[in-house]
Amino acid sequence: EGESTVSITVVGASGDLAKKKIFPALFALFYEGCLPKHFTIFGYARSKMTDQELRNLISGTLTCRIDQRESCDDKIDKFLKNCFYHSGQYNSEADFKQLDAKLKVHEGGRLANRLFYLSIPPNIFIDVARCASRSSSPAKGWTRVIVEKPFGRDSESSAELTTGLKQFLSEEQIYRIDHYLGKELVENLSVLRFSNLVFEPLWSRQYIRNVQFLFSEDFGTEGRGGYFDNYGIIRDIMQNHLLQMLALFAMEPPVSLDAEDIRNEKVKVLRSMRALHLEDIVVGQYKSHVRGGVKYPGYTDDKTVPSNSITPTFAAAALFIDNARWDGVPFLMKAGKALHNRRTEIRVQFRHVPGNLYKRSFGTDLDQATNELVIRVQPDEAIYLKINNKIPGLGMRLDRSNLNLHYADRYSREIPDAYERLLLDAVEGERRLFIRSDELDAAWAIFTPLLKELELRKVAPELYPYGSRGPVGAHYLAAKYNVRWGDMN
Ligand code: BG6
């Protein structure tokens, strides 16, 4: 009596995301004791598989990463006993009806809550939402559906997807994931800003010169070319991951930490942003490069990518927020694949100290003397502030040093994967880190005009060698706004 169960059905269970992220995250939650006592995990996909085969597939992806000194084989076994598989078509209500019957057996008449994770291409989202909602009749509990981008290709197709899903699900049931919101340092953004007096008052055009959102990966689109070529880096990274970080960074203080209050502020700031056009952007595409005797492939060398593709694998953009707080402050974004390193950072460059007494000590390059706050989201999480400091000694020489919060030194706990936090939130009904539909509309409104212009004018990307720092065009773009990329120093 009063007991409830949760079932989590991963639709698209044999896909990459499920294997790499979803199952390991579910296990980590189980390991930490975060899943309810009665839980069932179902894999759903078209291929035929037995429960045991799914378990083998899952167990191959699990490691005892939380405490590697202790074996966790018994926990893995317990976890796997709760994992099952059902094979079916994505558009068959009858197949989902059979799943429903199986779920009911596990639910055993308890209050039944059901979470569906749609780890599938967006063209079948609506089919699955229809089948899952029409053929699912859990005992009174909630039904929620997690969907993952791409949410369309532009404003129109995104709106269609939203309308389609809402035929079968209410907005409250839809959990749109942007996994960057589940990253530890992204969640920390609000804490850093709103609970530190030394930051909060500085968070405006009065003290901040520009803000940079930087994303780089040191590998290309190998193996995902088919998906990627349809979307490109602007839709893959900027319109969602970087823009979400920007919204959290720049929003007005929310009334409270409640999901609706936070999302209201995010929508507001997104709606205050100017739409992007061609002059605000530089696009690039990586080409093959030989280094140390190894030949790294170019983007169009991928068999699944048309040889004349002009899809950008790199982009740099300048965005503006037309409100009182941020008027005139450039928010720069840079995102690229096949660059020289893998890193995601937010860099906040502060203004010059008016009438700086030590101006002379910096020679001609005063820009080198401004403070910069760096939030390194990954890897090797850190927050550091560049300050001016006297070099110890009898003379008066200054340099820039870092006040440094390095997570690996400060905290011994392992940082959870973004999917762990987000899955837990979805189970608990916490919607703060999920994207509301009006937020999504506002995000598309910023990027859609640009994406259309790029396609209409067939803008050719600037080629850059695999493993390089990207096209030089990015520097000219920044220079237009008197900005230097912080990661180039
Ligand atoms: C995904 C993109 O959303 O994020 C990928 O589709 C990208 O192209 C990935 O590689 C990056 O995520 P993370 O967590 O590895 O930085």
Per-residue pLDDT reduced to its tens digit, 436-463 = 999 999 999 999 999 999 999 999 999 9
Instruction: Determine contact, residues 487/347, Cβ cutoff 8 Å.
Output: yes
Ligand 1 pocket member 236 (CB < 6 A): yes
Cα(97)–Cα(132) distance, rounded to whole angstroms?
8
Degrees (nearest 5) of the Cα angle 152, 230, 23? 70
- Ligand 1, atom 8, residue with closest C-alpha: 236
Best residue among 179, 213, 219 to mutate for probing ligand 1's pocket (most ligand atoms within 8 Å of CB) is 179
Determine phi and psi for 198, rounding to 5 degrees: -75, -10
The per-residue pLDDT for range 402-445, each reduced to its tens digit, is: 999 999 999 998 899 999 999 999 999 999 999 999 999 999 99
DSSP labels, 141-172: S-EEEEEES---SSHHHHHHHHHHHHTTS-GG
Q: pTM of the predicted model, to two decimals?
A: 0.95
In order along its 489 residues, the chain shows pLDDT tens digits of 468 999 999 999 999 899 999 999 999 999 999 999 999 999 999 999 999 999 999 998 887 665 555 678 889 999 999 999 999 999 999 999 999 999 999 999 999 999 999 999 989 999 999 999 988 887 789 999 999 999 999 999 999 999 999 999 999 999 999 999 999 999 999 999 999 999 999 999 999 999 999 999 999 998 889 899 999 999 999 999 999 999 999 999 999 999 999 999 999 999 999 999 999 999 999 999 999 999 999 999 999 999 999 999 999 999 999 999 999 999 999 999 999 999 999 999 999 998 888 887 776 677 778 999 999 999 999 999 999 999 999 988 888 899 999 999 999 988 999 999 999 999 999 999 999 999 999 999 999 999 999 999 999 999 999 999 999 999 999 999 999 999 875
Q: Which residues are catalytic?
A: 241
Ligand 1 pocket member 302 (CB < 6 A): no
Ligand 1 pocket member 265 (CB < 6 A): no
Instruction: Determine contact, residues 240/180, Cβ cutoff 8 Å.
Output: yes
Instruction: Determine contact, residues 44/7, Cβ cutoff 8 Å.
Output: no
- Ligand 1, atom 6, residue with closest C-alpha: 236
Give strand ranges (E) for 12-56.
39-45
DSSP labels, 419-478: HHHHHHHHHHT--TTB--HHHHHHHHHHHHHHHHHHHHTTPPPEEEETTB---THHHHHH
Instruction: Determine contact, residues 386/374, Cβ cutoff 8 Å.
Output: yes
Ligand 1 atom having least distance to the Cα of 227: 6
Determine phi and psi for 91, rounding to 5 degrees: -115, 20
- Ligand 1, atom 2, residue with closest C-alpha: 236
Ligand 1 atom having least distance to the Cα of 183: 14
Cα(345)–Cα(382) distance, rounded to whole angstroms?
9
Buried b (16+ CB within 10 A) or exposed e, 202-212: bbeeeebbbbb
- Ligand 1, atom 9, residue with closest C-alpha: 237
Best residue among 16, 217, 346 to mutate for probing ligand 1's pocket (most ligand atoms within 8 Å of CB) is 217
Beta strand 372-378 with 174-177 is: unpaired
Ligand 1 pocket member 280 (CB < 6 A): no
Ligand 1 atom having least distance to the Cα of 378: 16
Ligand 1 atom having least distance to the Cα of 418: 14
Cα(348)–Cα(356) distance, rounded to whole angstroms?
20
Instruction: Determine contact, residues 344/215, Cβ cutoff 8 Å.
Output: yes
Degrees (nearest 5) of the Cα angle 317, 319, 321? 170
DSSP labels, 228-291: HHHHHHIIIIIIIIIHHHHHHHHSPPPSSSSHHHHHHHHHHHHHTBPPP-GGGEEEEEEE-EEE
Residue type, 438: D
Beta strand 314-319 with 281-287 is: antiparallel
Degrees (nearest 5) of the Cα angle 163, 173, 186? 100
421 Cα–ligand 1 center, Å = 16
Ligand 1 pocket member 345 (CB < 6 A): no
Instruction: Determine contact, residues 24/32, Cβ cutoff 8 Å.
Output: no
Give strand ranges (E) for 30-149.
39-45, 83-87, 111-118, 143-148
Half-sphere exposure of 423 (CA within 13 A, CB side): 29
pLDDT for position 368: 75
114 Cα–ligand 1 center, Å = 27
Cα(330)–Cα(481) distance, rounded to whole angstroms?
7
Residue 369, token pair as written in the block: 């003397």
- Ligand 1, atom 10, residue with closest C-alpha: 217
ipTM of the complex: 0.97
Residue 161, token pair as written in the block: 């997807």
415 Cα–ligand 1 center, Å = 17
- Ligand 1, atom 15, residue with closest C-alpha: 217
